[in-house]
Amino acid sequence: MNHIVISCIGPDKSGLVDTLSKIIAKHNGNWQVSSLHHLSGFFAGVIEVAVAEEFCDALVSELKTINGLSCQIEVAQPNLIKVNCNLVLDITANDRAGIVQEVSSVIHHQNGNLIKLVCAQESAAHSGQDIFKAKVKISIDENSIDDLIDALENIADDLMVDISR
């Protein structure tokens, strides 16, 4: 079984997900994981699909022909690496340029591997100030968790980190 990772972007219009899902189903693909978004008038998405080897080339070819959607497609082996610990970090701080770089750099320098990052800018309830909120999934050696949290919280006085497993 092949796994393909599809990254696509194009002007948002009704029916794009339906088109993608029909093509995947037509080639006996199994939609595994996805993250789909409307961003500044564009549809942007990342999808992982499991597909039998005999259908893979035809699926990839047809996905690349979707009108108005630019798709980059990679064939991958599923990641079966065992990790010591997966953590989910909920991070909240005053928003500022460079905050994603600061957080990702700390995770990298503490030997963590960033698996998923979902972030947004919101207005604080009472002040209206811009707030950065992120949910970050990482894999890390269990012995490094305390050092990671200390390093994240030392980025700035206003940064708060909540941890779950």
Residue keyed to tokens 């050092």:
147
Residue scoring higher pLDDT (79 or 160):
160
Task: Assess contact for 135 and 88: CB atoms under 8 A.
Answer: yes
The confidence band for 79, taking pLDDT boundaries of 50, 70 and 90, is: low
Split at pLDDT 50, 70, 90, the class of 165 is: confident
What tens digit of pLDDT does each residue of 111-150 get?
Answer: 999 999 999 999 988 888 999 999 999 999 888 999 998 9
- Give the CATH H-level superfamily of domain 2-76: ACT domain (3.30.70.260)
Long-range contacts of 98-105 (CB under 8 A, 24+ apart): 99/132, 99/155, 100/134, 102/155, 103/134, 103/136, 103/152, 103/155
Give pTM, 2 decimals. 0.78
Sequence spans of domains, the chain: 2-76, 85-164
Which CATH superfamily, name and number, covers 85-164?
Answer: ACT domain (3.30.70.260)
